[in-house]
Structures are given as C-alpha cells and as structure tokens.
Structure 1
Amino acid sequence: NYSSLNDLLTVFMASSAAVIALLLDTTTTVSHCEAKPEEEEEDADETTSVVNWSGTHSVDVLSTNYHEPETVAQVEQIVKLCHESGTKVRPVGSALSPNGISFSKGGMMSLANLDNILNIDKEKMTITVQSGARVSQVVDSLREHGLTLPNLASIAEQQVGGFVQVGAHGTGAKITPVDDFVISMKIVTPQMGTIEVGKDSLTTPDLLFQLTKVGLGCLGICVEVTMQCIPIHNLVEHTYVLSRSEAKEQLSKLLKQHKHMRYMWIPYTDAVVVVTNDPEETFSNMEVIRSQMASQTDTQKERLKPLIDLLRDLCAENKHPFPFSEKHLAGVGFGELRDALLAISPLDVEHVKRCNKAEAEFWKRSGGYQVKPSDQLLQFDCGGQQWVKEVCFPTGKLQKNNDNDMTFMENLLTGIEEKNIAAHSPIEQRWSSSSSSLMSPAHGPTDGLHSWVGIIMYLPSEDVTQRKDITNKFQGEYCDLLGTVGENFDAASHWAKLELPKNDTEEKALQIFLSKRYPVDLFNLMRYVLDPKNILSNDLMNAAFGKPSK
C-alpha cells in the first residue's frame, strides 16, 4: 500500500533537517501568548471525572491538570506551561469515542468552550470554525447560507476537532472521509507554538498537513479548522431488506448507483438491511416516490410489534413483569425496546437469535422512502450504550471491486456462527473512497475503495456484573474473531475504536502491524519535532506508536 509513500518517506527523512529548520522558523509560523493565565486556588487532591458516551471508559484527572480554556490565547499559555513542566495535556472534545482516545490521567484540555463559528465564505463554499464547535452547530450555521458539510458521521454532537483528528467517516463509495475536506488547520504545539497547516500553506510542508489532518491529538491541539462545504440539499432515503445472497449480488451496482449506501447485517438471519441516500434532484420520478411515501401507512406501533410481542413472550416465560406501562409503551422507540429485550440474557446465543429475528422483521416492516435535509438522514440513532469495534480495509476500486468486502463479511458471519458468539445486531458495513491523510485507515490511491465494518455488543442495563460479562465476551472472543478475519485483508482499526493492548505481546504485534500500515517513522519524527516531551500523547498512543523519536 505504501510503495510510493516509502519513496516519499526516504526523501523526507534525508532532508528532515531542512524541514525541521523550516518548522523552527518561528517568525512566520509560530505564535506564543506571553500573558500568564489567571491563578486559581484549587484543592491539590480534587479530581475531575470524565466518562465517554458509552460509559465504557472513564478517567479521573487532578482538577489542577484539567483545563477548560475559553480563548486560543489561553490554550497557547496552558500548552506552553505544560511543555515547560513536562505535564500531560491531552485534548478532549465531546468524549464520544468508544475507546476514550482523548483520555489521559496525567492531564487533559477540554475544547468545549472554543466553539465559535469564525467565518462562512458562501462564494468559496468554506467554513472556518473553532475546533470545539459541534457538528450540529456547524450544520445549523451553514444552513442559513444555503450550505452544508459534504459528509457526516452518525453522531451530531461530535466536536469538529475530534471529528477530523480521528478520521471519522460517513458512508459513500464516491466520498472521502471527513478529514479529506479540511482545507487548513491551526494547531497549538508544545515546541513550536501555534502553526497553520493547509493545502496552500507557504510556511509549512504539505506533508505535515497530510499528517496533521488525522493527527490523533499527538502533533498539536487543534484550535481552528477550515472545511470545504457543498450546497444544501435534500436526500431521498430508501430502506429495504435483502437476503445475504442478494446483498452480495447487487453490491457493485448499488455502490455505483448511490451517493450514500450502507448495509446492516443481522447475525443468525438471512437479512441485510440496505439504506441508500441520494440527492432529490437526481430523481426523475419523485412523483412516484412521493406517492409511495403516501401509501406507507404502517404505524410505528405496527413496525415495533415483532419486538413488543417477543418482549411480552420473554417476560411471561421468565416470570418477569413487563417493563413498560401501556402509556409509556406508546412513546418507546426501537433502540429502547432492543435494549429491554437483550437485557434479559445478552450473552445467551439462542436468546440473541430470537432478538435478531424480531429485529429483522422490524426492518422489513420499516421499508420505504423518506425525504429530508441531508444532515437529518446521514446522522442517525446509533442505539444505547455499547461496545463497538470497527475496521477499515481496501477492497479494490469502485469500478473494479475485488470482492474483499463480501468475502470479509462471509468469513466474519461464518466465524460467528461456528463459534456461537452472541452477536448483537447489526454488523454495519459502509464504504468510502480514499483519504489523502497519511494516518487515515482509508489512505490510498485516489480511485481506491475502502470498506468499514463494525461489530457491536450493547450494554443494555446498569447491572455491573452483566456489563462486565459483556465487556469480557466482546473484548475477548468477538474482537479476536474480527482481528483474525481482518488479518487477510490488511484491516486496520478505526482510531476511535482501537483499544489498549492487554499485554506486551499484543502491544508489540500492534506496533509491527501499524508500522507496516502507516508511515509511523514519519509520524514519530513529527511527534518529536512538535512535542519532544510527549505531553500530548496518552497510554494508547504510546502503545500504538512508542515514544516520539528522531
């Protein structure tokens, strides 16, 4: 994958002294704020607790080392002082990442207060925001100017900095991950102060920009991002269910035909949910589609009936009270019902099969069309608290798919069934084109096609023992299977879903794999240049890449 990059890396390493000298030319690329931050008296033992969205990772940080700046100048001063003292200062946004990639016990900086929309250029179709701005906030601001973001991941409350830094992706074989739409960034670095990197930067190398876009918070604290936008538009979403064989047979046509498309495989069933999204203006038969929409008369209660009926049966079988009153039941959604079903016995394979069968029936009843603004359809409910693991791997080109994507899924589903894993639904499969960002799992040739596959186990209750058992099963047998299947496909983890290795053997294997998959030597060189004391990285980053070095 990196034959050309290795050539580039060789040239870069040979001339690294010149590049470092360029970065050290602080007259044009660096700004340090000289004012000292206000002194605040805090109990030396007081801690701040941070928990990620799924409740799977948490960290307690000394409150004196948990920073919540309100201005870029304060960010610069905090980073400067932490650099001088060698104190950790890991950037954190909404703490949505399933693996707690932003967590560091030694020190953290929340960017939530840096959420200003700085500029919208309607003519150039660009937006400049501070990195703490939420994606939903950005989309709302763009709407007033007739613009929107080209691609969106599923959760609207992501902050832009993390959205970009971990290489989040949307869904569409012709669309790159979100980092590829970044035009420029400002990052505050421990050694060099504030530098701006971008496509047209005259003061920093393009190679640094391609590293920094998916910099994982290791190269600097991102404080400002300029992104490319597109005209606002409605999407026509079509949801329907195929058999596994139909999903395989129709894949190539569907990827070419639709702007956005994802599969949701339901383990232990012959059901694959297909969700496509295309701009409304590309349809010549909208009258027919709107007529079909008008004829979609199934109520939410009718769609949810398979889940409700199963829950009533299970409660009767187990002599449990039904968890919802009739009044409450009228407002219960699909995700809440699924959690209630799974909570009864989330690791019992036969039980999970029954739940998955009911879910497949729900999706069959939920088929049809809807038309809404793009952001309302590309961002969707991911369900309740959960463990997830997602990998990305190349699968040829859009015009010539090498079938890695379908072979991968066949091997994964076969492994699940052979090992009797209580695989919750769905296994989500998406596609994207290549990213130019060197640390993106989807980095590759411009015409490359990549598939993203995510497995899931929900944490449907607050029962501590149950959550621990699910965690052990997921992180053990299920993730081991995903890793084994992925070995033959060069599958790399989504950065926000890579977990800390359990032991030295796993850590060594991870470092060997990553060094083959990514330009780790180059990344570590830039870590050393920009953060020689390694205050930005945490245990996960150090386990993945080792300590920064020349």
Structure 2
Amino acid sequence: MKLVTPAKGTIELSNEKDPELFYLARCGLGGLGVVAEVTLQTEAESNDPEIDTLSFTELRDRLLARDPLGKEHVIRINEAEAEYWKKSEGLSKPTMKDLDYMENLLQLIEKEDIPPPPPIEQHWTARRKSPMSPVSSSGEDDIFSLVGIIMYLRTSDARQRKEITEEFFSYRSVTQTSLWDQYSAYEHWAKIEVPQDKDELPELQARMRERFPVDAYNKALMELDPNKVLSNAKLEKLFPVLEHVHQAK
C-alpha cells in the first residue's frame, strides 16, 4: 500500500514493512493519509477450466485419481481434506446470537412502538485484521452480523425531518440500553453521529476506546498529520488525545 501523508510524504506499508501502521491504515477513516496505490493478493488461475464447477468431494476425488497409490500425494490430499472439514465445522456451529438479537430487536420495536420502515437489514461478514474495523478480530473463523434499521427522510418538510431524526435517535438509545452490551454490539463508523448532548459524548468516547486502539491511532495521526490537514471535527471529538499519548510522542 502507498499512503500519501501530510508529514512524511508517500510511504509504503505492508504486512512485512511496518505491519502495525499498515493494518491501522487499512481502515484509517481518512485521517492517516490518502491511499494512492494498493497491491492485492490473488489466487492463481487454474489450468483446468472445470475446477470452479467442482464440489469439494469431486475435487478431492479428481486429485486422488492423479496418483492414487502415491503415499505422499495421498497424505497431502488427506491433510487438505482434514483442514477443510475443520474449518467447515467451525462455521457449522454458530452461537445463534445473531438471530437471537433480531428476535429481541423485533420484540423491542413492538414494545416501544418504533415505526421502522421495512426492511430491517441484517448482513454477515468475515472478520477483518484491521484493528480500526468494526469487524476486527484475531479469530480466523469469526463471523460478524451487521444489523440496521433505516428511517428515511423522504420529505422536505423541516418539522417532519426533525421529528424523524429525533425518533431515530430515540430508537438508537433504546437499543443501546437494552441490547448492545448483551450482544457486544458497536456502531458502524458510517452510522456514528457526534452527540448534540455534551453529556453523552464522554460515554461514546469510552465506547470507542473500549473497542478500538484509540491511543495507537492517535499516535499515528500525530506522526503522519501533526497539523491536522486531513482531520475533521468528528475524528477529533471521537478520539481526543490523552496526555500520556503526547508524552509518548
């Protein structure tokens, strides 16, 4: 990855070269620099045009047929199959918390008379290595569920828009109080709003610090953009720089 920064110009980062900063920059929220170039790892194209149409067992049998009596060859196939089933087993025993959350959410909507328009969205994604990602995890097989209710501002009437916005934040507050801690839920970056109530800001900052490596991110910010060329009010509100971070610099 090539990252253009205000203080250090263009720097190159990778899993081998400054991996900590590399993974921070992969979800840098636009504050660490401008990503100018990325190199992606891809899978080699198969010489067999039918390879993508085969099931796992069909692929296994075809590979075994190449040298069915070759001991080392069969061992390699067996090891690959064992790894396949091991990973499959990990994904075939979900905790079901994702569906439990949805059931509790629907019950909460009924109880609180929340008027969300359909659909209530739920998506799944694999974990990410970037520590600033909302779905970051050290577990290779971890799966995250993303849930959201959308309240559309499909009106130009200022009073109605204000009422819808207030209703949305009321819904957010109810779900946070009732469900988030129970299911280890956190806001997605695209959905975070800086609270208008100043008393709520410290609570949000504490939540961000609990989930994300805020000090490491701030340290990188001060090294790459000390004059806050790329910064914005949202980043500065969410990630206040603590005194010991200044001293570490």
TM-score higher than 0.5 here? Answer: yes
Q: What are the superposed Cα offsets for residues 120-160 of structure 1, whole Å, 9 maximum, x if unpaired? A: xxxxxxxxxxxxxxxxxxxxxxxxxxxxxxxxxxxxxxxxx
Equivalent in 7, 23, 35 of residue 210 of structure 1? 23
Is the counterpart of residue 481 in structure 1 residue 174 in structure 2? yes
In the alignment, does 2:35 pair up with 1:222? Answer: yes
Maintained 8 Å contact 1:191/1:532: yes
Alpha-carbon distance, 1:546 to partner: 0.9
What amino acid sits opposite 1:440 in the alignment? S
Secondary structure in structure 1 of the residue aligned to 2:36: strand
Change (3 A) 1:461 1:229: farther
Give the one of 165, 184, 189 matched to 2:5.
189
Q: Is it true that 1:471 corresponds to 2:161 in the alignment?
A: no
Q: Name the amino acid aligned to 2:180.
A: G
Please give the TM-score of this superposition, normalised by the length of structure 2: 0.74
Whole-angstrom CA distance in 1 between matches of 2:230 and 2:108? 39
| Rounded Cα–Cα distance in structure 2 between residues aligned with 1:470 and 1:282 | 51
Tell me which of the two structures has the higher relative contact order, counting C-alpha pairs closer than 8 angstroms and 6 or more residues apart: 2
Who is 1:440 aligned against? 133
Equivalent residues of 1:423, 1:456 under 8 A apart: yes
Corresponding residue for 2:108? 415
Contact 1:433 1:450 in 2 (8 A): yes
Give the drift of 1:481: 2.3
Distance in 2 of aligned mates of 1:505 and 1:227: 44
Task: Determine which of 185, 189, 192 is the counterpart of 1:495.
Answer: 189
- Structure 1 counterpart of 2:218: 524
Matched-pair contact (CA < 8 Å) for 1:434–1:450:
yes
Cα displacement string for residues 212-257 of structure 1 (whole angstroms, at most 9, x for unaligned residues)? 100001111222233345699xxxxxxxxxxxxxxxxxxxxxxxxx
Residues 187 and 194, structure 1, Cα contact 8 Å, conserved in 2: yes
Give, in angstroms, the shift of residue 503 of structure 1: 2.4
Question: C-alpha distance in 2, partners of 1:433/1:442?
Answer: 8
**Deviation for aligned residue 1:189:** 1.1
1:47-196 map, 5 Å: 185-196=1-12
Whether 1:430 aligns to 2:243 is no
* AA in 2 matched with 1:487: D
Q: Residue 452 in 1 paired to residue 131 in 2?
A: no
What is the match of residue 78 of structure 1? none
Q: Which residue of the partner structure matches residue 405 of structure 1?
A: 98
Q: Is the 8 A contact 1:437 1:443 kept in 2?
A: yes
User: Residues 463 and 519 (structure 1 numbering): CA distance in 2 closer, same or farther, change over 3 Å?
Assistant: same
Deviation at 1:422, TM superposition (A): 0.6
Once residues 282 and 466 of structure 1 are traced to their aligned partners in structure 2, the CA distance between those partners, rounded to angstroms, is 55
SS at match of 2:149: strand
Q: Distance in 2 between matches of 1:195 and 1:517?
A: 27
Instruction: Give how far 1:463 is off.
Output: 2.7
The change in CA–CA distance for 1:463 and 1:401 in structure 2 (over 3 A counts) is same
Deviation at 1:461, TM superposition (A): 2.8
Measured after TM superposition, the shift of residue 403 of structure 1 is 2.1
1:462 maps to what in 2? 156
Aligned-pair identity (%): 41
TM-score (norm 1): 0.35
Which has more helix, going by share of residues?
2
Higher strand content, 1 or 2: 1
Q: Distance in 1 between matches of 2:148 and 2:14?
A: 31
Instruction: Render the CA deviation track for 1:75-134: whole Å, top value 9, x for unaligned.
Output: xxxxxxxxxxxxxxxxxxxxxxxxxxxxxxxxxxxxxxxxxxxxxxxxxxxxxxxxxxxx
What is the distance in 2 between the residues matched to 1:195 and 1:186? 6
Structure 1 residues 527 and 401, CA gap change in structure 2 (3 angstroms): same
Task: Kindly indicate whether the alpha-carbon contact (under 8 Å) linking 1:439 and 1:518 is maintained by their aligned counterparts in 2.
Answer: yes
Question: CA offsets per residue over residues 410-436 of structure 1, 9 Å max, x none?
Answer: 221111100101111111111111111
Which string of whole-angstrom CA distances, capped at 9 and with x for unpartnered residues, describes residues 502-542 of structure 1? 22222111111111111111111111111122222211111
Match of residue 84 from structure 2: none
Superposed CA RMSD in Å reads 2.2
Question: What is the alpha-carbon distance in structure 1 between the residues aligned to residue 148 and residue 120 of structure 2?
Answer: 6
TM-aligned CA distance change 1:230 to 1:497, over 3 Å? farther
Matching of residues 266-415 of structure 1 within 5 Å: 281=53, 398-415=91-108
The CA distance in 2 between the partners of 1:504 and 1:399, in whole Å, is: 45
Residue pair 1:404, 1:489 contacting (<8 A) in 2 also: yes
Contact kept, 8 Å, 1:189 with 1:221, in 2: the verdict is: yes
Question: Following the alignment from structure 1 to structure 2, what is the Cα–Cα distance between the partners of residues 540 and 461?
Answer: 26
Structure 1: distance between partners of 2:215 and 2:125: 26
Aligned residue type for 2:226: P
Aligned to 2:235: 541
CA contact (8 A) 1:408 1:486 kept: no
Amino acid at match of 1:406: L
2:200 to 472, 487, 506: 506
Change (3 A) 1:282 1:416: farther
Distance across 2 between alignment mates of 1:507 and 1:500: 7
How many residue pairs match? The answer is 202
Distance in 2, matches of 1:402 and 1:537, equals 39
Residue 448 (structure 1) shift: 0.9
